[in-house]
Amino acid sequence: MRPNRLRQIWAEGGVAYGCWLSIPSSFSAEVLAHQGFDWICVDTQHGVIDYQTSVTMLQAVSATETVPLVRVPWNEPGIIMKSLDAGAYGVIVPMVSSRAEAEAAAAACRYPPRGIRSFGPTRAAYYAGRDYARHADDEVLCIVMIETAEALANLDEILSVPGVDAAYIGPSDLSLALGLPPRPDHDDERFVEAKRRIVEACRRHGVVPGIHANAALAAKHAADGFRFILISSDVAALAAGAAGDLAAAAPGRRDPGAQPAYR
């Protein structure tokens, strides 16, 4: 089976930097996957991407060494299994707030007896190799999102679940849970302390800490102990590039009330 490079990076103590895809396009997925990111995530939760399009995007990423991930819409076993069968090398599962929810996510990612995943790697076997069934449980990643007040209260219970490989902070939802406006980062002590607690809990349980971020925040997060960091996205890169071109060609033409793309 094709090895999961993220596991190799983490085993060597490195940081894996990634890109986020929200636009339903296999070509834009291909272009971004060729830029050299360690991982790329097809977002089927908040991105405007359906299942069929996500498959074509995973196929496009397959032409590169970038590790393909999918953020599923919800912690539902059927869509987790279907995303893995399509060739995702890991799933990012939103709103995991309890041990039971973490157990459900991990079980959907592994075949019996370790889990409940049904066998049928329809596309995955072509991408990963014909020995997929023998190695998938050890290569595929179960990444749970920590982004609610309940999850903060249950950190040790969630992160001690066998099969949970990484914990990924959704900073906007975490901000809301802490009574703060939804933003990629805050200096507010409540937010800073929540991030610190998550990193420390990950270290206790041998889980990789990750965070949804951007390039400007990457060095700060890496210094704080995060080893799975988002640094770019198709939407933000497209908007920033186009706005930059317009500003260079026609200064002052851009609407001063325009808002930057969501990250």
Which residues does the annotation mark as catalytic? 46
Q: What whole-number distance in Å separates Cα of residue 219 and Cα of residue 223?
A: 6
Is 45 exposed, middle or buried (CB count within 10 Å of its CB: 0-12, 13-18, 19+)? Answer: middle
Nearest Cα neighbor of 184 from 193, 196, 195, 175 is 175
Q: Token pair of 47, please?
A: 């991105």
Task: Give the amino acid at 75.
Answer: N
Q: What whole-number distance in Å separates Cα of residue 197 and Cα of residue 212?
A: 16
Which residues lie across from 144 on neighbouring strands? 93, 167
Q: What whole-number distance in Å separates Cα of residue 40 and Cα of residue 33?
A: 7
CA dihedral 81, 82, 86, 91 (to 10 degrees): -50
